[in-house]
Each structure stands twice: as structure tokens, then as C-alpha cells.
Amino acid sequence: MSKKLDAFLEENLTELKEQGLYNEIDPVEGPNGAIIKIGGKDLINLSSNNYLGLATDEDLKKVAIQAIEKYGVGAGAVRTINGTLDLHVQLEEKLAEFKGTEAAISFQSGFNCNMAAISAVMDKNDAILSDQLNHASIIDGCRLSKAKIIAFKHSDMEDLRQKAKEATESGLYNKVMVITDGVFSMDGDIAKLPEIVEIAKEFDLITYVDDAHGSGVTGKGKGTVKHFGLEKEVDMQMGTLSKAVGVVGGYVAGKKQLIDWLRVRSRPFLFSTAVTPGDVAATTAAVQKIIDSTELHDKLWDNGDYLKKGLKELGFDIGDSATPITPCIIGDEKLTQQFSKRLFEEGVYAKSIVFPTVPRGTGRVRNMPTAAHTKEMLDEAIEIYAKVGKELNVIK
């Protein structure tokens, strides 16, 4: 073993722990539902992105089992050789219907979807205007493209417009893209898509919206682009199939010509084995459920409003979330981790979120009520928050 590596790891792991930035991983013993079991202890789960509760849906479990019985457990190859099953085609047709576009392409995860799509369209001769709070997968996708990355202040349309003007008028770039999350997952705010689209039209920017936390949540479940009625105005709609949809994977929806290009130039599509049959079948069924009914969407929002009201009345700083995502912003990283630990001890699982996921000094506990929670569960969680908050002097 390398002594240099040992020294590097020892020094840096110790530093992370001293700063309250080391993340402990807790294995979940069973399904990731409204109540989870960790270390034999039942906990109210407020850390899941399983927004609609579909990850444990009985109908989807049956569909997955049936697909495994028919197709097996794996796709057997990459999509471009013989790993494209008729199930993948059906899913992509359903995703295009879901997002209101001509076509769609699916990937193995939301993270490698951003790595794939951004780098397939943009290159070293281009520039990307990226919101400062964009997800890590967007940042890595931009880096992989080798395009010039120009960050604009979070949801600051004046700054975006100025930087778009400078980039397009410089003559340095063949293409310029503006890229943003639809819903920002750590604060719960929604991108100003109408203003972004107007700026894009003015300067002929490619528009890319990562709606990982919006699909199934905003726009009556259809997503943030649909929320603003901009399906015909946004070039690339990206999303995950692992959050509100409840399974695994990612996708890009847009014009047929764009999807044709991604099929021949996006590297994870070309070089990584296709998503398994059970997952694809369950995903298609989940998307159909979201298309057919807003019942789960409506319950999600009702629970989100209920938890927000309860925590705000206690005096917690829940930021400016415009979605069910409910952060309790504490600030100090060590105190944030201590707060999360005490919640765990009292019966609530709500993970601390600290740097590098959020900027230093903005540590928070991110709460995600889902459609699967009952009001009784949320009442109990609010009572525990009150107890721990007063104990640690986070609230009075």
C-alpha cells in the first residue's frame, strides 16, 4: 500500500470529522417508506426523495416481478448493441408523452444523464451559463464537455442577462447554453423559467432544465416546464426516474432530432449496459400513474404545507421554499450534525446537509414529507423538532 495515500486519507478524514463535515451512512433495514428501520429502530423518515411513495408501491412491485419473469434480471448489453428491449422503447414513448415533447431518451441514472447529454451537445468551442446552485451532476457534465463555464448568481436574471450578452457578443463561442435546475433540491425554490426563456430567445441560447426534483412534484406532476407552460420553448428537459417516479434512471426529452443525436453521441448510452427490465417496466407504470391522476401529487403538497406550517410556527428558519422540500437552516456544521443525531435518537430520521452539498455556514436538516406520510406521523415529528430545537437552543 502507498504510504502517500495512507497519509493523505488519514489527514483529510480527520479534518472532515473535526469540522463536522464527515457523513455517516446508515443502512436502511427494509423498504424506504414513510417509516424506516435503522439499527432495529423505527423512525419517521423525512430524508427520502421518494416524493410520491412509489418506491414501495404494490402495483409497481408486481409489474417489476412480471418483467423479470419474462425478460430476466438484466438487459444483457449496451443500448446500441442488443440491450434495447421493447420495454425501453415503451418507456421512452411514455416519457415523451409525460413531458409533452417529440421524443425522449433514457439513461441509467440522473447523474450520468447530465454527464451524457451536456457533453454530447457542448464542446470546447462553446460556453455554458450555469446557475451557481446547480446540482453537482450538472457541474460535472459541464466540466466533461470542456465548454467555458460561466456561473451566474442564483436566480439573478439581471446577472444572467448581462453574462449572456457578454458571451454571445464576444464572438468566442459557437454555441451558448443556459442550464438550471427546475427545483433546487436544498432550498426548495423554483427556477425563474419564464425570464430565463425570454433571455434565451433574445440571445439565441440553448435552454436546458434539470427537473430531477420537479417531475412528479410541480406542474400537477408534469414538472416545472409544464408548470410554466413552456414545453415548446425549452430545448432539453432532463429528469430522474428515482425520485418522484420511485425507481431508477434518468432521461432527456426534446425534439426528435436532439434525441437522435444523443442516441449516437452520449457516452453512457453507448458504453454502459442498459437499465434492467424490472426497473424499466416499473418506471413506465409509475409514469403512467402520474399521468393518470394527481392524487399522490395533491397529498404530497398537502403534507408539505402541513409540515412547513408546523416548523415555521415553532420558529425554525425554513428558508424560502416554494415546494414541499422543507429545510431547517441551522448554519453551523457541527450543530447541524448534532441536531440531526438528536432527532434520530428521538425517532425522526432527517439527515444533516453540510458543505460541500451546500455552502459553508449554511448547514441544514433537509425535510422531505411525502405522499406516504400521515398527519399523525408529521405531528409526532413536529413535537420531536420542538423538543430538540429548544434543547439545542436552535429555537426559543
Task: List, for residues 329-349, the tens digit of each pLDDT value.
Answer: 999 989 999 999 999 999 999
What's the rounded Cα separation, in Å, for the pair 385 and 246? 27
pLDDT digit string, tens, across residues 306-324: 999 999 999 999 998 999 9
The answer to whether the CB of 206 falls within 8 A of the CB of 167 is no
pLDDT band at 186 (very low <50, low <70, confident <90, very high): confident
Q: Which of 25-29, 102-106, 354-358 has the highest mean pLDDT?
A: 102-106
CA distances from 358 to 21, 46, 247, 264 (A): 11, 18, 26, 35
pLDDT digit string, tens, across residues 34-44: 999 999 999 99
pLDDT band at 234 (very low <50, low <70, confident <90, very high): very high
What's the rounded Cα separation, in Å, for the pair 75 and 65? 15
Q: Is the pLDDT of residue 23 over 90?
A: no
Looking at residue 291, its pLDDT comes to: 97
SS3 315: coil
Looking at residue 199, its pLDDT comes to: 98
CA distances from 263 to 156, 251, 260, 279, 309 (A): 34, 12, 5, 20, 46
Cell numbers that stand for 181 in this block = 435546475
Q: Is the pLDDT of residue 20 over 80?
A: no
SS3 69: helix
pLDDT band at 360 (very low <50, low <70, confident <90, very high): confident
pLDDT band at 131 (very low <50, low <70, confident <90, very high): very high
Q: Is the pLDDT of residue 73 over 90?
A: yes
Cell numbers that stand for 45 in this block = 423518515
Q: Catalytic residue numbers? A: 185, 213, 243
What's the rounded Cα separation, in Å, for the pair 112 and 128? 18
What's the rounded Cα separation, in Å, for the pair 115 and 104? 16
Structural domains in the chain plus CATH codes: 19-48+294-392 (3.90.1150.10), 60-292 (3.40.640.10)
- Amino acid symbol at 237: Q
Looking at residue 84, its pLDDT comes to: 97
Looking at residue 212, its pLDDT comes to: 95
Q: Is the pLDDT of residue 24 over 90?
A: no
Give the length of the chain: 396
SS3 128: strand
Looking at residue 21, its pLDDT comes to: 79
The answer to whether the CB of 34 falls within 8 A of the CB of 377 is yes
Looking at residue 19, its pLDDT comes to: 84
Looking at residue 6, its pLDDT comes to: 94
